């Protein structure tokens, strides 16, 4: 079939498939190459994508928080060794090898960043949101955490200290937000629905029932 080499210059008589963006072509090339060399298994790639698109996300972390709010023994175990405590709930795997839970109180508010890249507790929260990966957040969370929090709509009393934790490839953090007032009668499922992803990064609060 005759064709030229510009991307979109075919006439209306030749409605060819649109060329994907350049990085998508590079990824396809890399994937094909590695597949032909036997270095990647396409089924394994599909399984990885399915896991993070459909199976793993902040609901896992929210269940952990709801349990910590309602079960004092679990809360103690979580703060002592979060990796083991959440593994018992079936929440383990990639980037969950060493998780530390940090609890918000009336005097301390915890906030998590990864200044290096975007380390994040995948088994509990899934893939990080765009803003967590942005230069602005990564640079400013450490420098001016209160200002960043205010932009997220979180204003803390002056006496509350803000502690910023820098994640690494070795240690990832889960913030246990404070249990909102008025949530006393709720069961764990209803409580988990109050726990937002942002509240477990420390950039939000649990929502009021």
Using the rule CB under 8 A, which residue among 48, 76, 84, 150 binds another protein? 48
Neighbours of 168 (CB within 10 A): 14
CB of 119 vs another protein, minimal distance in Å: 6
Is the CB of residue 156 less than 8 Å from the CB of residue 103?
Answer: no
Enumerate the active-site residues.
Answer: 114, 117-119
Phi, psi of 43, deg, nearest 5:
-65, -35
Contact predicate 66/191, CB 8 Å: yes
The reply on whether position 33 binds another protein by CB under 8 A is yes
- Note whether 112 binds another protein by CB under 8 A: no
Q: Find the shortest distance in angstroms from Cβ 168 to another protein.
A: 7
Min. distance of Cβ 79 from another protein in angstroms? 25
State which residue, 128 or 145, has the beta carbon closest to another protein.
128
Q: Which is nearer to another protein, 137 or 175 (CB)?
A: 137
3-class SS at 140? helix
Q: Is 39 in the site for another protein (CB under 8 A)?
A: yes
Q: Which of 28, 76, 105, 189 binds another protein (CB under 8 A)?
A: 28
| DSSP assignment string, 135-193 | HHHHHHHHH-HHHHHHHTT----TTSEEEEEE--SS-EEEEEPPPPTT-TT--HHHHHT
92 makes contact with another protein (CB under 8 A): no
Closest to 120 (Cα-Cα) out of 145, 142, 94: 94
Q: Output the CA angle 126-119-22, nearest 5 degrees.
A: 80
Which CB sits closer to another protein, 46 or 144? Answer: 46
Contacts to another protein from residues 190-209, by CB under 8 A: 193, 196, 207
Query: What 3-state class would DSSP assign to 100?
Result: strand
Nearer to another protein, 111 or 119 (CB): 119
Confirm or reject binding of residue 182 to another protein (CB under 8 A).
Answer: no
Q: Judged by CB under 8 A, does residue 185 bind another protein?
A: no
């Amino acid at each position: 079939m005759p064709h030229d080499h510009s991307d979109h210059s075919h006439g209306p008589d030749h409605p060819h498939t649109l060329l994907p963006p350049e990085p998508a072509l590079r990824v396809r090339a890399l994937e094909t190459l590695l597949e032909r060399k036997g270095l990647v298994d396409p089924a394994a790639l599909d399984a990885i994508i399915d896991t993070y698109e459909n199976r793993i996300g902040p609901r896992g972390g929210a269940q952990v928080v709801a349990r910590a709010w309602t079960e004092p023994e679990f809360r103690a175990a979580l703060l002592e060794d979060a990796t083991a405590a959440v593994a018992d709930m079936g929440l383990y795997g990639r980037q969950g090898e060493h998780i530390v839970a940090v609890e918000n109180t009336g005097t301390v508010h915890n906030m998590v960043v990864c200044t290096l890249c975007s380390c994040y507790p995948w088994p509990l929260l899934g893939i990080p949101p765009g803003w967590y990966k942005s230069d602005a957040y990564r640079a400013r969370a450490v420098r001016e955490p209160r200002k960043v929090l205010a932009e997220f709509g979180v204003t803390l009393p002056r006496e509350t200290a803000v502690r910023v934790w820098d994640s690494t490839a070795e240690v990832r953090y889960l913030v246990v937000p404070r249990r909102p007032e008025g949530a006393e009668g709720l069961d764990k499922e209803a409580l988990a629905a109050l726990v937002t992803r942002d509240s477990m990064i420390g950039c939000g609060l649990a929502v009021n029932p």
